[in-house]
Amino acid sequence: MSPGNLKAVLFDLDGTLVDTADEFLVVVQQLRAEHDLPPMDPARVRRSVSNGARALVQLGLGLDPEDEQFESKRLRLLELYAEVLGSSAKPYPGINRLLAELARHGISWGVATNKPRAYAEPLLERIDLPSCPSLVCPDDVKDRKPHPESLYLNCRDLDCAPHQAIYIGDHLRDIQAGKRAGMLTIAAAYGYIEPDDNPHDWGADLLTDDSNTLADLIFNA
């Protein structure tokens, strides 16, 4: 897509725009310590961050979602996360350069995430990023990704048609949402990928395992 036809670049949040894994690592290890469990392999925690709080409780405590204690443990994990939110998270390498390049071309940007607004909004405010022109969270939609509703709301905010936008994400649901919305999609293979997953199988239009290459990829797509 030429810069002249591109009106917006949309990002997933955790694992695509921002690296939040170190914060979740602290939280999972603390949750395990509260249950007298030893620390978990950091790499294993990192790979699951994009799957959210429920997945991290399952991973960290080995609890089934049907367990009667599961919801209280999920809420405890979120309490711990609120205490460290934005403390060590940072934009991926090359993201600020990409946003500056988008601004230079008059191209807007936004975020479509399954992270609740109570966490997504303060996170974006506390890290080294320009103000986000369009943030869409699960609180704002009836159907979460992989449904494309959140991406349609981004397009409404940014006054562009879906075919004039690119969506970048580090999970199959992101690529599915982008495809269903009619957008060009980029798989962020540098993000949080589960051991049994393969971004090459997601059907994205483009793929990169290095966030530094996003600008070149977008402007040469």
Whether residue 118 is predicted with pLDDT greater than 60 in this model: the reply is yes
The mean pLDDT of 32-40, rounded to a whole number, is: 96
The mean pLDDT of 134-141, rounded to a whole number, is: 97
For residue 171, what is the domain's CATH number? 3.40.50.1000
Kindly state whether residues 184 and 210 are assigned to the same domain: yes
- How would you class 96 by CB atoms within 10 Å of its CB: exposed for 0-12, middle for 13-18, buried for 19 or more? middle
Kindly state whether residues 76 and 171 are assigned to the same domain: no
On whether residue 49 sits in a domain, the answer given is yes
Split at pLDDT 50, 70, 90, the class of 45 is: very high
Q: Which of 49, 66, 84 delimits the end of a domain?
A: 84
Kindly state whether residues 167 and 196 are assigned to the same domain: yes
> How many separate domains does the chain show?
2
Q: Under a CB-based contact definition with an 8 Å cutoff, are residues 68 and 114 in contact?
A: no
Q: What is the pLDDT of residue 52?
A: 85
Kindly state whether residues 48 and 72 are assigned to the same domain: yes
Q: What six digits make up the tokens of 118? A: 């109570």
Q: 52-61 and 70-84 helices cross at what angle (nearest 10)? A: 110
State phi, psi for 141 to the nearest 5 degrees. Answer: -130, 160
State the catalytic residue, choosing from 12, 19, 170, 174: 12
Whether residue 77 is predicted with pLDDT greater than 70 in this model: the reply is yes
Kindly state whether residues 102 and 159 are assigned to the same domain: yes
Q: What is the pLDDT of residue 51?
A: 85
Where is 110: in which H helix or E strand? Answer: strand 108-112
Per the annotation, the verdict on 12 as an active-site residue is yes
Kindly state whether residues 187 and 175 are assigned to the same domain: yes
Kindly state whether residues 12 and 33 are assigned to the same domain: no
Per the annotation, the verdict on 14 as an active-site residue is yes
Split at pLDDT 50, 70, 90, the class of 50 is: confident
Domain containing 138: what range? 8-19+89-219
Split at pLDDT 50, 70, 90, the class of 210 is: very high
The mean pLDDT of 27-43, rounded to a whole number, is: 95
The mean pLDDT of 165-170, rounded to a whole number, is: 98
On whether residue 183 sits in a domain, the answer given is yes
Whole-angstrom CA distances from 155 to 120, 129, 162 are 19, 20, 6
Whether residue 3 is predicted with pLDDT greater than 80 in this model: the reply is no
What does the pLDDT look like over 78-109, one tens digit per residue?
999 999 999 999 999 999 999 999 999 999 99
On whether residue 205 sits in a domain, the answer given is yes
